[in-house]
Chain A
């Protein structure tokens, strides 16, 4: 490999060591204390922030728009665009951090939160919320596609029928056809298609 030719053996070892440490830090399961709430936040306040019942002070989008966490979040649970955050406190606790959320480096959340920063207090509440939610198991999203597809098809047909009833024949009833035909009628009925 071109790259390794240029690097001394010692440097390679160092790199491997650094990467290993990073990996360990990132993926090390965190042993959170079971019943205890992390940080100074409040679980209920955190839940409200997550679900958007409490608006973010700077107007950012509530977490639930893209994420879900735990099984008790709303009737339909949260969004599935972003990762499921049920276990975020165990796996990536360091990302629950205002600096990371607000940084422009994260490609999806960056554009949302760089202009509308989430506040450190709000993140404290979220930490409390996540630390409790992390005790639950991840509930996979419903995979029953059949009823959804069938419902979609039936809904589309119903919509089309309604459209056809509401808008069908509108053009024909408008002045009885094209302007040209109307001009002919107005002129005395000579010629024209009708």
Chain B
């Protein structure tokens, strides 16, 4: 057992209102630089939809993530065939990279013209101007949240790769406004346990930090081969055309090291995000990633270790984890959501990168199902608050395609648990359901009353310090940093071109 700590984030999709505050705060903190205009380390997508970059989930197109070979070993999809030879053959031109047309051409508007246009008969306009070429653009054809709230549908919604396996009547819901469903899906880098980006980098510039599991790109070593962009199935590394380096979500490590929440999580108005430490067994990552699709979520839960187990604590200490980290792991919302209560699920586990951020599937709209099977419409008179999760407007198959490699049972388990908690709390507050019904709902999903109280507390009422249990990093004891140079990059946090004084120094 090799006990490691991972800083991880969970998203309660029920509460996400799609306000993009997370994206904007992330952009303001990290990517308002030239070359980074098109990057959204955090973005929010409308599901169903094609997301950003367009159709990123379609790995037949982008060849991201891992696949199992016939011999049962893991292989990057990108390197199908003769492995390293394929890397070499593709090193100057990879066919699987998303182009700027697949993201979007970053633009601004010619605001100056609004203020400085000479007096005339016509209203002055602010024409869009490309941030890449500086030229005026005829029209804007794509943006980072182009299909937000079903804008541009049904083109984008019907092309969602997660719709495979849905019935025709379910797909039909996408084109009929009185039947449609959608929800928001905020995304950051998953800081995977088995990251494809790290494995694919020809320069060895990407690494997963041992002390907190954050995956980073060494800006000094990066040579812009862009294999990470292709190999990451979530398309979260981006190429900066200005300095010729790849960049990605850094999980706001300068903030987390001092115990502050990530910029996106801190800013979240819906309070949907939870950040905490989980302990995992690094020895079993490969075994986990090799599981068959229907076992993947369970295997990922098995990978997470119980922070109250004395053997795990001893293993953590032996690996140099400080007591405040072990304490944080014991109080972690992440452990409870993912492992203890089993209501959070990984994002696309079938990519086999063992993603370390989790999503609580959305129950909404909880009130009524659309009676879609009878061809009926949304029924506002219906007083049946808690219907079968299988009949909800968001098809469980669709959620399963996103969150559990198509395995509906784990999604239904998570939804039923949330439903049981809501029934329990409604019985406490309103008392119109009857104790017997509530107790049987809790029993069916295996939750105790205390669990229901705790889940409700964390998902609905939790304060800042309950949502973010972030231990400070003991930077002074981490061997990867030379104490003489601890502060020399302060203020630059790893970005920018290689500085001359760093060249050729050895320690």
A112–chain B nearest beta-carbon distance, Å = 11
Contact A175 B61 (CB under 8 A): yes
Tell me whether A183 and B156 are in contact (CB under 8 A): yes
Assess whether B93 is interfacial by the CB under 8 Å rule: yes
Q: Do the beta carbons of A187 and B158 come within 8 Å of each other?
A: yes
Shortest distance from the beta carbon of B229 to any chain A beta carbon, whole Å = 14
Q: Tell which of A163, A186, A187 touches B92, judged by Cβ atoms closer than 8 Å.
A: A163
Closest B-chain residue to A190, C-beta based? B155
| Contact between chains at B155 and A178 (CB < 8 Å) | no
Q: Tell whether A167 is near chain B: CB-to-CB under 8 Å.
A: yes
Whether B504 pairs with A167 at a CB distance below 8 angstroms is no
Report B-chain residues with C-beta under 8 Å of the C-beta of A111. 504, 506
Contact A183 B504, beta carbon cutoff 8 Å: no
Is B79 among interface residues, defined by CB-CB distance under 8 A? no
B96: chain A residues at CB < 8 Å are: 174
Q: For the complex, is A184 an interface residue (Cβ under 8 Å from B)?
A: yes
Partner of A179, one of B54, B95, B154: B54
- Residues of A with C-beta under 8 A to B158: 187
**Looking at the complex, which of B97-105, B261-269, B294-302, B462-470 is the stretch in contact with chain A?**
B97-105
Q: Is the interface of A mostly helix, strand, loop or mixed?
A: helix
Q: A184-B155, A187-B158, A187-B159 are in contact. Are A179 and B92 (CB under 8 A)?
A: no
- CB-CB under 8 A from B333, the residues of chain A are none
**Pair A180/B93 contact, Cβ less than 8 Å:** no
Query: How many interface residues does B have (CB within 8 Å)?
Result: 23
Q: Tell me if A183 and B101 are in contact (CB < 8 A).
A: no
Contact A171:B53 (CB < 8 A) given known A183-B156, A187-B155: no
By secondary structure, the B interface counts as: loop
| Interface 0/1 of A142-183, CB less than 8 Å to B | 000000000000000000000100110011011100111011
Are the C-beta atoms of A178 and B101 separated by less than 8 Å?
yes
Task: Indicate whether A171 sits within 8 Å of B95 (C-beta atoms), given known contacts A178-B101, A179-B53, A180-B102.
Answer: yes
Instruction: List B residues 88-120 near A (Cβ within 8 Å).
Output: 89, 92-93, 95-96, 98-99, 101-102
Interface size on A, residues (CB 8 A): 17
Complex interface: chain B residues within 8 A of A186 (CB)? 159
B131-156 to A contact mask, C-beta < 8 Å, 1/0: 00000000001100000000000111
Question: How long is the Cα–Cα vector from A173 to B96 in the complex, in angstroms?
Answer: 11
Beta-carbon contact of B155 and A171 below 8 Å: no
Please name all residues of chain B whose beta carbon is closer than 8 Å to the beta carbon of A184 when the two chains form the complex: 155
Q: Is the CB of B98 within 8 A of A179?
A: yes
A174 to chain B, nearest CB (A): 5
B402 part of interface (Cβ distance < 8 Å): no
A179 & B93 in contact (Cβ 8 Å cutoff): no
Judging by beta carbons under 8 Å apart, are A179 and B155 in contact?
A: no
Assembly CA distance A32 to B53 (angstroms) = 74
Question: Which residues does chain A contribute within 8 Å of B95, judged by CB atoms?
Answer: 170-171, 173-174
A-side contacts of B98, CB under 8 Å: 179
User: Given that A111-B504, A183-B159 are known contacts, is A178 also in contact with B92, CB under 8 Å in the complex?
Assistant: no
Interface centre among A111, A170, A180, A183 (most CB of B within 10 A): A180
- For B159, the chain A residues whose CB sits under 8 A away are 183, 186-187
Q: Which residue of B lies closest to A192 (CB)?
A: B155
B55 beta carbon closer than 8 Å to chain A: yes
**Docked-complex contact B141 and A180, CB < 8 angstroms:** yes
A-B contact list, 13 entries, CB within 8 Å: A111-B504, A111-B506, A171-B93, A171-B99, A173-B95, A179-B53, A179-B54, A180-B54, A182-B61, A183-B55, A183-B155, A187-B154, A187-B159
Given contacts A167-B93, A175-B61, A187-B159, 18 further A-B contacts (CB under 8 A): A111-B504, A170-B93, A170-B95, A171-B93, A174-B96, A178-B101, A178-B102, A179-B50, A179-B54, A179-B101, A180-B101, A180-B142, A182-B55, A182-B61, A183-B155, A184-B155, A187-B154, A187-B158
Q: Which 8 pairs between the two chains have the least Cβ-Cβ distance?
A: A167-B93, A179-B54, A178-B101, A174-B95, A179-B102, A170-B95, A183-B159, A187-B155
